[in-house]
């Protein structure tokens, strides 16, 4: 049985709320067999590890050292489709647990496991269900945690909207609303907190927010209204960030429309020489062309993904076929044997082995475990005089070409001085 709702679930809540027409658009697609990606399989395996850990400690949460030692004992055990490795623990499990324990302290501590992998039913919606990851309970708080083990797109508990202000993540609101309806006694007289822990993402790995009962009530009403709109004869379609994982995106008129606009764009006006400092016809043309081509590029990726999934299921597409992906060759798993053979060929130790510093992510995890801070002076951004495109609303300052060369030379000189000072300190 699928774990996902037919009409709405945690992962589709934002899409349905913002684009009611997406429901019928998806229903109109041919039936597809879901082919999970390696990223999804990895996430499922890490979720299974966390579920196992918190089921084991459902009678009481231990201190961090104890739970970390327990996780280490699980290395080699199989979860979902893979054996747990030291790298999995270092990269995903340990930092997620560190964030969780810090989060519990933020809200007063004293938490116990209320539920893990809880099957929840959204109130008043037939077919509206899902599975919440972890619910922790203290005397004062109910803390709902959603694990995210992806390393690409950062997910936040709260998003800032220029027009509407702070908006709570719809997935958190869905799971919390459904959990309250499913197990109301766990939430009685407790303040509600929603949190997302995403240990592999760059930057902030844990975000959280207090959620009021009014926000829960308003969200429930919004979902009901969105479903009424979705089942209407001509439900509205709206384009936005919620389209990212929509399977109907390749055929959605909100996304295919730019193709017609691109056709009508016509030839560019004459190039101004020298370049105009004020906005002119050529600059206007480039801005419009760039926006349309970005839309077309996004659509191209979605069509490629849809084609691949369709062919994987046995479908036929004129002019296209599947082929085996070319994989880069790699050394035999027995590195000792490989090294011995290379030495026999006359390779030196430096020819065979390399040594390099760990990544920032691994070092940050170790620093958090040791309770220390890595000095900022050890990490510097490479000096560059290269530029790249950015939208006008990007917070980074605009580059003035007249000053760039002078700034680059000064920064390069400063970096060389820091490097010499660091070498002197290391020698002394």
The residue extents of the domains of the chain are: 13-230, 248-312, 355-427
Report whether 45 contacts 91 (CB < 8 A): no
Report whether 117 contacts 51 (CB < 8 A): yes
Return the minimum-mean-pLDDT range out of 68-77, 103-112, 121-130, 370-379: 121-130
User: How far is the CA of 215 from the CAs of 162, 165, 225, in angstroms?
Assistant: 19, 14, 15
Give the pLDDT score at 67.
93
Structure tokens at 168: 């709570």
Counting Cβ atoms within 10 Å, is residue 305 exposed (0-12), middle (13-18) or buried (19+)? Answer: middle
Q: How do residues 205-223 score in pLDDT, each as one tens digit?
A: 999 999 999 999 999 888 8
CA distance 225 to 80: 37
Q: Which residues of 318-355 are buried (b: 16+ CB within 10 A; e: fewer)?
A: eeeeeeeeeeeeeeeeeeeeeeeeeeeeeeeeeeeeee
* C-alpha closest to that of 192 among 175, 208, 212, 218: 212
CATH number, span 13-230: 3.90.320
What is the average pLDDT across 392-400?
69
Report whether 173 contacts 72 (CB < 8 A): no
Report whether 308 contacts 321 (CB < 8 A): no
Q: How do residues 185-206 score in pLDDT, each as one tens digit?
A: 999 889 999 999 999 888 889 9
Dihedral, CA atoms, 44, 46, 47, 49, nearest 10 degrees? 130
CA distance 339 to 353: 8
Give the pLDDT score at 5.
47
pLDDT band at 131 (very low <50, low <70, confident <90, very high): confident
* C-alpha closest to that of 198 among 245, 135, 154, 134: 154
What is the average pLDDT across 115-130?
84
- Higher pLDDT among residues 411 and 79, named by residue: 79
Task: Transcribe 308-335 into DSSP letters.
Answer: HHHHHTT--BTTB---PPP------S-H
What is the average pLDDT across 382-388?
66
Structure tokens at 250: 């390749």
* C-alpha closest to that of 172 among 154, 193, 149, 194: 194
Report whether 253 contacts 22 (CB < 8 A): no
Structure tokens at 76: 């080699």
Scan for tokens 């202000």, then name that residue.
165
Give the pLDDT score at 416.
61
Counting Cβ atoms within 10 Å, is residue 134 exposed (0-12), middle (13-18) or buried (19+)? Answer: buried
Q: Is the pLDDT of residue 54 over 90?
A: yes
Q: How many CB atoms sit inside 10 A of residue 377's CB?
A: 9
- Rg over alpha carbons for the chain, rounded to the nearest Å, is 26
Q: How do residues 263-318 score in pLDDT, each as one tens digit?
A: 666 666 666 655 666 667 777 777 777 777 777 777 777 778 777 777 777 778 88
pLDDT band at 3 (very low <50, low <70, confident <90, very high): very low
Scan for tokens 């009611």, then name that residue.
20
pLDDT band at 175 (very low <50, low <70, confident <90, very high): very high
Q: Which residues of 273-298 are buried (b: 16+ CB within 10 A; e: fewer)?
A: eeeeeeeeebeebeeeeeebeebeee
Give the pLDDT score at 406.
60
Distance between alpha carbon 407 and the CA centroid of its chain, in Å? 35
pLDDT band at 135 (very low <50, low <70, confident <90, very high): very high
Q: Which residues of 191-214 are buried (b: 16+ CB within 10 A; e: fewer)?
A: bbbbbbbbbbbeeebbbbbebeee
Does the predicted TM-score (pTM) go above 0.75? no
In eight-state DSSP terms, residue 166 is: E
What percent of the chain is predicted at pLDDT more than 70? 80
In eight-state DSSP terms, residue 377 is: G
Give the pLDDT score at 279.
67
- Higher pLDDT among residues 35 and 158, named by residue: 158
CA distance 213 to 192: 8
Give the pLDDT score at 2.
39
Report whether 81 contacts 73 (CB < 8 A): no
What is the average pLDDT across 125-142?
88
CA distance 49 to 195: 19
- The pLDDT mean for the chain works out to 80
């Amino acid at each position: 049985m699928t774990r996902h709702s037919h009409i709405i679930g945690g992962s589709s809540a934002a899409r349905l709320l913002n684009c009611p027409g997406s429901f019928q658009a998806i229903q109109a697609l041919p039936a597809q067999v879901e082919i999970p990606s390696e990223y999804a399989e990895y996430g499922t395996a890490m979720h299974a590890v966390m579920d196992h850990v918190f089921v084991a400690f459902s009678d009481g949460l231990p201190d961090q050292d104890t739970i970390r030692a327990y996780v280490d004992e699980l290395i080699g055990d199989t979860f979902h489709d893979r054996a747990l490795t030291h790298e999995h623990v270092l990269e995903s499990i340990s930092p997620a647990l560190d964030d969780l324990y810090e989060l519990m302290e933020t809200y007063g501590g004293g938490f116990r496991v209320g539920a893990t992998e809880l099957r929840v039913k959204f109130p008043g919606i037939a077919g509206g269900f899902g599975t919440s990851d972890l619910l922790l309970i203290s005397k004062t708080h109910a803390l709902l945690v959603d694990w995210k083990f992806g390393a690409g797109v950062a997910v936040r508990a709260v998003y800032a909207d220029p027009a509407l202000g702070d908006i709570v993540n719809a997935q958190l609101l869905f799971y919390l609303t459904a959990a309250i309806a499913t197990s109301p006694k766990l939430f009685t007289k407790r303040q509600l907190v929603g949190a997302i822990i995403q240990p592999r993402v760059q930057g902030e790995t844990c975000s959280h927010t207090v959620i009021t009962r009014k926000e829960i009530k308003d969200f429930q009403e919004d979902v009901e209204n969105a479903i009424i709109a979705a089942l209407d004869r001509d439900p509205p379609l709206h384009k936005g960030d919620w389209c990212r994982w929509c399977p109907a995106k390749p055929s959605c008129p909100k996304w295919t429309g730019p193709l017609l606009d691109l056709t009508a764009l016509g030839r560019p006006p004459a190039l101004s020489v020298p370049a105009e400092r004020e906005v002119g016809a050529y600059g206007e043309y480039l801005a419009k062309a760039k926006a349309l081509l970005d839309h077309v590029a996004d659509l191209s990726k979605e069509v490629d993904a849809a084609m691949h999934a369709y062919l994987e299921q046995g479908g036929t597409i004129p002019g296209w076929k599947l082929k085996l992906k070319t994989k880069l060759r790699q050394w035999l798993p027995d590195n000792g044997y490989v090294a011995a053979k290379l030495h026999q060929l006359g390779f030196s130790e430096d020819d065979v082995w390399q040594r390099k510093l760990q990544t920032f992510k691994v070092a940050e995890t170790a620093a958090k475990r040791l309770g220390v801070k890595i000095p900022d002076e050890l990490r510097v951004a490479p000096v560059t005089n290269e530029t790249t495109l950015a939208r006008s609303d990007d917070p980074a300052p605009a580059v003035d070409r007249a000053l760039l060369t002078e700034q680059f030379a000064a920064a390069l000189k400063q970096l060389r001085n820091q490097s010499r000072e660091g070498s002197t300190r290391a020698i002394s």
